[in-house]
Amino acid sequence: MLHPFFADKGINLLRKGCHTDAIGRDGATTPLPVALGHEGAGVVEKVGKNVTSVQPRDHVVLSFSYCGHCYNCEHGHPGMCEHFNELNFSGINYDGSHRLHMPDGQDISTFFGQSSFADHVVADEHNVVKVDSNVDINLLGPLGCGIQTGAGTVLNYLKPKPEDTIAILGVGAVGLSAVMAAKVANMKHIIAVNRNGNHLDLARELGATEVIDNSVEDTEEAIRKAVPRGVTYVIDTIGNSGVILSGIHSLAPAGECVLVGVGGEIKLNLMNDLLLESKKLSGVVEGDSQPQSFIPQLVKYYQEGRFPFDKLIKTYDFENINQAFNDSAKGEVIKPVIKINPDLQ
């Protein structure tokens, strides 16, 4: 059963340059017409009669949609929900209906169960995460997807030990969130890899122990110079097959490469690339997170000064939405955020 709520004055913070929204805009994921937006934050205005987790005036972040009753949801892995693609990308509610319509009655697809590029949002209770109202709501929207993906892949899925080592391929918002999480986990080596030196200084500031510019250095050679036996884990945020292969080749025996970036085909030699050294290749969605518990934990780390994700954010007024997308595409901003209602506090 769907349990809707309204976010008072809407979602005032959304990551505009997000690749997920960009590919949705281009019709690659969700039937058009679609109302985009998948990292919302706002204040609850109304709740459905069966809602128990939030109440009016609560500050909330909107995250991904999940059914709550499939095997994976019931076992604490809603990011692996059996209905994930249906609920987040098909454009319809769980019961097959549409909640958004054009003035002439034409159906509009919903995105990530929220469509939060709007001044008001109707969402399922599973999308909604209550957060501390003492933290600036204007910062919190990006926790709903990209930051959660990077941090959760480290803290929820890999659960590293301090002696473990990691290479993070690509240091945009997801990769830098993984860097911060690896520092929270006190990992021995945190190696950040990116092209043209972009964001590598920030990666070091946020916790990377080594940085590699793979436009001038061979990734595998540089990783093994820092950790001769190879790293315990690799996280790829890029989706480029050549970069992924270099990551796999940089793993220590029994190491694991985790894919979180959108990509296409990759050609592997199963024996040489994986089996002979017991290496693993896996894909993880949304950081294997349970948003209602993990996002408040990230907020707590932020309040303690251990997860300074605000360093990634630049805000834009709504009329500059196209500029936000363009700046993100050119790499001029890491996490652009749109303030739909500048007065929302």
Give residue-wise pLDDT tens across range 106-140.
999 999 999 998 888 988 899 999 999 999 999 99
The CATH code of the domain at 147-285 is 3.40.50.720
For the chain, residues with pLDDT lower than 50 are 1-17
pTM to 2 decimals?
0.92
Domain with CATH 3.90.180.10 in the chain: 5-144+308-339
The amino acid sitting at 26 is D
Backbone angles phi, psi at 105, to 5 degrees: 95, -5
What pLDDT shows up at residue 7? 34
What pLDDT shows up at residue 18? 59
Specify whether the CB–CB gap between 136 and 273 falls below 8 A: no
Backbone angles phi, psi at 322, to 5 degrees: -65, -35
H helix intervals, 90-170 = 137-140, 146-152
CATH topology for 5-144+308-339? Quinone Oxidoreductase; Chain A, domain 1 (3.90.180)
